[in-house]
Each structure stands twice: as C-alpha cells, then as structure tokens.
Amino acid sequence: MHRLMEDNNTLFMKQERVPDKVHIWDETLRGGEQSPGVIFNLEDKMELAELMDEAGISVIDAGFPMMSQKEREAIEALVSCGLDAEVGATVRCKKEDIDAAIDLGVENLYMFSTTSEFHLHYKQNMTEEECFNEVLKAVDHVNERGVNFDFISEDTTRSDLDFVLELLTELRDRGADRLIICDTASSITPEAMYSFTSEIIDGVGGDGWGVHCHNDFGLAVANTVSAVQAGVNYPTVTVNSLGDSSGNAALEEVVMIIEKLFDVDTGVDTTLLYELSKTMERRSGVYLSPQKPISGYNSYRHESEVHVSGVLSHTESYEPISPEEVGREREFVLGKHSGPTNVKELLDSKDVSLNDDQIEEVLERIEEEKTTHRQRRIDEFLEKKDEYNKEMLGFSEDRFWEIVSEVKGEG
C-alpha cells in the first residue's frame, strides 16, 4: 500500500506540470514525407493541410525549402492560402536557407541544428563552440529580416546538458518563440524524458516548449507524453506516426492521451481524427495496422463473447475512448471467439429466434467457415503486400541502373 501511495503521489506531481493548454504541432508534410516511398504533391499537401486546419491543429510545418523547387512552390502555396493554423518552414542555421524561406512568404522559421557531440563530430565535423557561433549568427540574420523563429535542438537527448542549457538560454534571450527538444535517435525512456525535459525547462525558463520524438523503440508517444507532463506545450507529431525509419509520435494517439487522460484541451476536433488518418493513408500509400490505436480497422470491432457482453452492458467496460469521439462506429464481429450474446443481438435485430442448440450450431459453422482456407488467403495477401511495399515504398535498383544508362546515352 505504501508503494502504491508513493506511485500515485509521483503521478500527481507529474500532472501538476502539465500545461493548461497544449497546442498540436504537425510535422507530417515535412517529417512525415521522409518516410521511404512517401511523396506528397501540391494537391496532397493542400488537402491534408486544409483538413488539419479544420481539425484545429495549431502549427503546420509546410516543408524544407532547400529540398527542391517543387517543395518551394508547395510551401509558398501553403503559407498564402489563409489557414487559421500557423504555417512555417524548417531551415538549417544557414543564411541561404533563411532567405529562401522568407522569399516564399514564410514568417515562421523552424531553425534546427544538432547539439550532440556525436552528431557534431560525425555528421557536421564541428565543435560545440563552432555550433554555438553558427546558430547565433543565423539568429542574428533572422532578427535582421524581422521574422519569427523557433529553435529545434536535434539529438538533444544525447547532448551535453550544460551545452544545451547555455545555448537555449542564449536563444531565449535573443527572441526564440519556442524551443524544441528532440529525441532523434530514440535514446531515452519516458521516465528519463520527464526528468531531462523538466531540468531543461527549469534551467532555461520561459514559455513555449516543444518536443520531437522518434519511434525506433516504440516509445515516441510515451516520450512525447512524458515531455508534456514535464511542461511541454507544443508536442510535434505526425498523422499515423509517419516519418523516417519507424516514424514519429502519432498525432491521433498523443491528442487523445492529452484530452482524455490529462483532461487538457488541445484545440483539436477529435471527431475528425479518423477522417484525417484515412486521408493520410490514401495520400501517403502507407497503410495502417488493423490494431493501430484510434484509427486501425479493428480499433472498435469486438468479437470475443466477453468483450461483446461487456460493451453491450456498458461501453466503458472495454472502450476508454468512445468511437463517436474520434469519428468511428462500433462493430460487433462474428468469428471464432463469438458467443451467444452477439448471435442473439443479431437475431433480435431481425426479430428471428433460435433455440440454444441452433445457436451453438450457427457458431460452429461460423468458426468452420472462418478457418477454411485461412492460411492460403493469408499467404496470398502477404505476397501481394510485400510486392506493393517493394514497388511503392522504394525504387527498383535495376530501374535505377537503366536510368543511369539512359542518362549517359548508352540505352
């Protein structure tokens, strides 16, 4: 009992730091598009951004201007289309990036630089001092151009804490609207994220804190939520957890945790979460697991007798989030684990009656039909799924060499 009281007290202390209002910062159109094989054209980005805006997303990262001319055209269109959401662009701490974004009409710059010694040494070939000076030089240029800026500390969780505190404090003094902590290499656990984030927020001070987590260990949502518990009020997320490698924190999951478990307003119309998720699935070509929380095909489908009976008695028996809250509908499914309750419910809906023996026979026949040829169908689907993934989420190396040959004039 004493241990339980300690655990509850710790939880209460963590809840005390949760902001009164949390704003959702979406990274799907930039970071989500980094998923292998995902390509958003202008039409895709416009549809997705408009739906995000309708859903009440606070911040939309429109993209990275230095990627391509098409990316710049998309960013320019998004920042000028009159969305209520803040629309900005991600830039490196380089004059050419900053000027390119501002020339497109971007008024909110999401500047990033790595702060970890590991990245500085192996990726940037820089020292911490050189990084510090480069960032401040970029900030001075942004301030001269008169636009807003946030700073994203890449690989923060593997950075020297003293260096991070010194840099972020200086950036706060120089006008950074928001400071974003990143778990770029999925190198931290939720408990450690809470402590780490709390120490940074307390050490630097000020309002406007973000977090950006990757999902290599399946902890992106948990780490994001822990950072919110520590005081972060701008969690960055992606719809359907899109992103490079194993993706980022899922928007729909983070929103519902904050709304339901913390009882904190995110400004998001949660009834549009499913529509947003399905639209993203169609536009990205990355399809969801049936077990995906909130948006997965099976999320509100009940087959087992225990679950069906419980939900029919009271929905909260097995549904902590009602389907209506997220734009879904409940469904009772016939299968191996079905029992008399589901069958009787269906019979009553058509005013049909069967005795107990007949109901048992119906259940036996359902199970038989569900199991017949099951493995063959699974194997056929998986083969098609693998073919799809290879074709749509990658690019044939054989075709690559054909293109190289054609470009060289050899084909």
State how far the Cα of 146 lies from the Cα of 152, in Å rounded to an integer.
Answer: 19
Considering only 77-91, 133-147, 305-319, which range has the smallest mean pLDDT?
Answer: 305-319
Predicted local distance difference test score (pLDDT) of residue 362: 95
**Other C-beta atoms lying within 10 Å of the C-beta of residue 105:** 14
Classify residue 183 as left (phi > 0), alpha (psi -120 to 50) or beta: beta
Cβ-Cβ contacts under 8 Å for 179 (sequence gap 6 or more)? 150, 151, 153, 168, 171, 172, 204, 206, 208, 209, 210
Does the pLDDT at position 295 exceed 50?
yes
Does the pLDDT at position 293 exceed 90?
yes
Q: What does the pLDDT look like over 110-122, one tens digit per residue?
A: 999 999 999 999 9
Q: What angle do CA 293, 296, 298 make, to 5 degrees?
A: 100
State how far the Cα of 86 lies from the Cα of 24, in Å rounded to an integer.
Answer: 11
- Provide, rounded to the nearest whole percent, the portion of the chain with pLDDT above 90: 90
Single-letter code of the amino acid located at 245:
S
Assign 3-state DSSP to the chain and report helix, strand, coil percentages, each to 5. Answer: 55, 10, 35
β-bridge pairing 179-183 and 209-213: parallel
Q: What does the pLDDT look like over 172-201, one tens digit per residue?
A: 999 999 999 999 999 999 999 999 999 999
Q: What does the pLDDT look like over 358-377, one tens digit per residue?
A: 999 999 999 999 889 899 99
Does the pLDDT at position 6 exceed 80?
no
Predicted local distance difference test score (pLDDT) of residue 16: 86
Residue 410: pLDDT band with limits 50, 70, 90: confident
**For residues 160-166, average pLDDT:** 97
Asked whether 44 and 283 are in contact (CB, 8 A), the reply is yes
Does the pLDDT at position 237 exceed 50?
yes
Which residue, among 207, 265, 208, 230, has the nearest Cα to 20 in the 3D structure? 265
**For residues 153-163, average pLDDT:** 97
Considering only 26-35, 143-152, 308-317, which range has the smallest mean pLDDT?
Answer: 308-317
Whole-number Cα distances in Å, 115 to 109, 165, 181, 200, 294: 18, 11, 10, 14, 35
**For residues 121-143, average pLDDT:** 96
Predicted local distance difference test score (pLDDT) of residue 411: 61
What letter would DSSP give residue 51?
H
Single-letter code of the amino acid located at 188:
I
Does the pLDDT at position 68 exceed 70?
yes
Predicted local distance difference test score (pLDDT) of residue 148: 97
**For residues 277-304, average pLDDT:** 96
Task: Give the torsion sign (CA, 323, 240, 65, 120).
Answer: positive
Instruction: For residue 366, give the 3-state DSSP assignment.
Output: helix
Does the pLDDT at position 13 exceed 60?
no
Quick one: tokens of 409?
A: 């004039």
Residue 15: pLDDT band with limits 50, 70, 90: confident
Does the pLDDT at position 400 exceed 70?
yes
Print burial letters for 308-343: b (CB count within 10 Å at least 16), e (below 16): bbbbeeebeebbebebebbbbeeebebeebbbbbbb
Predicted local distance difference test score (pLDDT) of residue 2: 41
**For residues 381-388, average pLDDT:** 95
Does the pLDDT at position 94 exceed 70?
yes
Does the pLDDT at position 301 exceed 70?
yes
State how far the Cα of 316 lies from the Cα of 330, in Å rounded to an integer.
Answer: 12
Asked whether 178 and 210 are in contact (CB, 8 A), the reply is yes
Does the pLDDT at position 5 exceed 60?
no
Cβ-Cβ contacts under 8 Å for 224 (sequence gap 6 or more)? 211, 213, 232, 235, 236, 237, 249, 254
pTM value? 0.92
β-bridge pairing 234-237 and 108-114: unpaired
Task: Give the torsion sign (CA, 219, 225, 231, 236).
Answer: positive
Contacts 24+ apart (CB under 8 A), 128-131: 128/160, 128/163, 131/167
Predicted local distance difference test score (pLDDT) of residue 4: 46
Predicted local distance difference test score (pLDDT) of residue 7: 53
State how far the Cα of 239 lies from the Cα of 86, in Å rounded to an integer.
Answer: 17
Mean pLDDT of the chain: 94
**For residues 6-30, average pLDDT:** 80
